[in-house]
Structure 1
Amino acid sequence: MRKTYTTMLGDAGVPLRVIDYVTGHESSGLTLGIYSAVTDVGLEQARTATQDALAAVGAATATRASWTSGLVQSMST
């Protein structure tokens, strides 16, 4: 039951130090090493976060390329 509770808190995005506190653990290593597990929810959150980060990088790169191209064109006229 304790492992399930700890894992559910992690999947809900509760900070590790808070999980340590509410479970009475003095060490995050104990919380991570024994009382947490990889879940489908956690894997989906990681996949979504990765896709969002890559999309943001792509959007920033496209904006920078557009800005640079416009700057080069304005300097040549």
Structure 2
Amino acid sequence: MGIKDQFQDKANQMRDKAQDSMGKAKEEGSERASQARDRASKASKASKDTNDTDRASQEAQDKFNQDYDA
């Protein structure tokens, strides 16, 4: 194996390693984005549930007030 072949092999190894690293970084970024979407979705759902609960409480209070005023 000549020196040119050795350099070519080393260049190929470095290229492959760089591509693997880029692939891992993309996967990690995708996973983090997915987790962030999940957290945002859960927070949104919790907020909606709280709003529904608040609305139900307010409606019950309004009904009580109407009954009490009558």
TM range (shorter): 0.5 to 0.7
- Report sequence identity in percent: 8
The alignment yields a C-alpha RMSD, in angstroms, of 0.4
Bigger radius of gyration among the two: 2
TM-score normalised over the length of structure 2: 0.56
Aligned pairs, how many?
40
Q: Is 1:73 the equivalent of 2:3?
A: no
1:53 match: 16
Post-superposition, which runs of at least 4 consecutive aligned residues in structure 1 deviate over 4 A? none
Task: Pick 1 or 2: higher relative contact order, CA cutoff 8 A, min separation 6.
Answer: 1
Where in structure 1 are there 5+ consecutive unaligned residues?
1-37
Distance in 2 of aligned mates of 1:57 and 1:68: 16
Distance in 1 of aligned mates of 2:38 and 2:4: 51
Which of the two has greater helix per residue? 2
